[in-house]
Structure 1
């Protein structure tokens, strides 16, 4: 349980940080939000996590840790996947609803699963167990940013390549770096079409990254279902004056 639950938390942090990484560029770059506006737009995620943590604990006590957290993690994955339907002119209310569901679901997973994992360890190993959990979280977050950024970069370059064929080499080299650099090049050369092409290439790259992020989160939910499976209880041996015993021939024999 401890190893599988930790792996599921790592996958969750992987998906969460990847979604936050490209989400920030989506709001501040493609949508043109200021840093303050982008932070406020992401606030439902934080508020949802605050409310989801105690809710997840209560629901886990009422039902069980496994169905509550696995369902919540799957819901978080689907909320991350909803980014595949975001565009340049998506109503902000749709973004906020998705961010709220994502935060609420994540809060329902991290706290209860962490408490459940720690409860499986003896007291003398609690410190080591806590260190392992923190290390897995940080590693998952780091890999999420690295992988999310790599996928975004590869898909973006392929998406904007056709729009840069007739551009001078300095503009082409700058625009291939990122959508933000392409917007700067478009502003400097007075080419609104280039900025529009960069936005479209970025949105496509974000959609591809969102699909991968969703799959990672859903795989974490599947892992939770397996890792938190109740341990099988050994069969009780019947007691009494007459106990069935199996003879060498395989037939039951009643012994007083």
Structure 2
């Protein structure tokens, strides 16, 4: 049984190494294609890598930059915004996003609302959600260990110190859990949309026969207010509200 377990773990480890080698090879191909100015080929490979690791800011940045060189307004803005959502201090992504914004045929004045979770995410972004989760588990394990030692110890002074330490490690565990959950919720939840169709329109109601409230342009952004199976209610930077079909936007 022990040998079977060892073989299983060895097999899993080998698969992990093989997958990482494949990813590294793909990344090298994508960067080479970009350097050779083969931007379509570069974007195609980066798309594959993003599907494998969707929370990798650098991959979204490279993909967005490839689309920027192809002058694909919507997809360049979308992936550069994703890079900044994952890593708010990503200055290169911010610079390229400014260039991508200039591809739009018109500029919409105003600012979009900022999700409440974003502030907390920015404060605790020095660790990723998985790292916070591991810290929560490790702290909880340490709390249990300290409490076991506390129960076995007969020295009053030591017991007091151990009890205080257990409260401290428990607080770290609980705090890390909630930070991890907030980080994950923020990254996985969609707060904004990027219009990907040049002929998209904003409707007063979630119906194709409703009155048109605004004509949108490719690359325009909106803040998500609510959603149905086929429609999303968004707020534009100029505070205009309306409904747009889901298949005409990219959510992030």
Same fold (TM > 0.5): no
Larger Rg: 1
The answer to which structure, 1 or 2, has the higher relative contact order (CA under 8 A, 6+ apart) is 1
Q: Give the structure-1-normalised TM-score.
A: 0.30
Q: Give the structure-2-normalised TM-score.
A: 0.30
